Amino acid sequence: MDTNSESLFENAMSRYQAGEDANSLIKDFKIITNSSPNQSAGWTCLAWLQLLCDQPFDALKSARIAVKLNAQDPQSRINLSVALLETKSKGVREHIEFVKRALLIVPDLEKELKISIQDGLTRKPNWDALKKIQSWLGF
């Protein structure tokens, strides 16, 4: 990421963590992904925000790009799994199995992923697809 994109990313993440509405942040993450299209973190965040804002088809595209750029990132795989569920697409199992294997190899990831899922359920309490993922991961 270039310096401008990096500061925009940090600013947008801070605003998200402070509780800002996901809708207002999508524009910033589109700017970030346009200016740094090979940065998986921007795509991962954009997919999450799109999922929160009931834009599952846009999220599916963003999550696929994030996973393509960094296939080792469990959060990207969770986002893609949620988007696949919400668009009634196939392929969820392989991504959930990957996350489960990653958790066995790096147990510290569990806390981070639990926090992310809880954040999603706090912002969108009736998020059935995310609840399924949570259950499948045993959280």
DSSP state of 90: S
Q: What is the DSSP string of 16-63?
A: HHTT--HHHHHHHHHHHHHHSTT-HHHHHHHHHHHHHTT-HHHHHHHH
The predicted model scores a pTM of: 0.93
User: What are 114-136's pLDDT values in tens digits?
Assistant: 999 999 999 999 999 999 999 99
pLDDT score for 5: 61
User: What are 90-116's pLDDT values in tens digits?
Assistant: 999 999 999 999 999 998 999 999 999
Rounded distance between C-alpha atoms, residue 18 and residue 38, angstroms? 27
Count of positions (residues) in the chain: 139
User: What are 11-39's pLDDT values in tens digits?
Assistant: 999 999 999 999 999 999 999 999 999 99
55 pLDDT band, cuts 50/70/90, is very high
pLDDT score for 2: 53
Domain 3-137 has CATH 3.30.2350.10: no
Cα distance between the two ends of the chain: 33
Residue ranges covered by each domain of the chain: 3-137
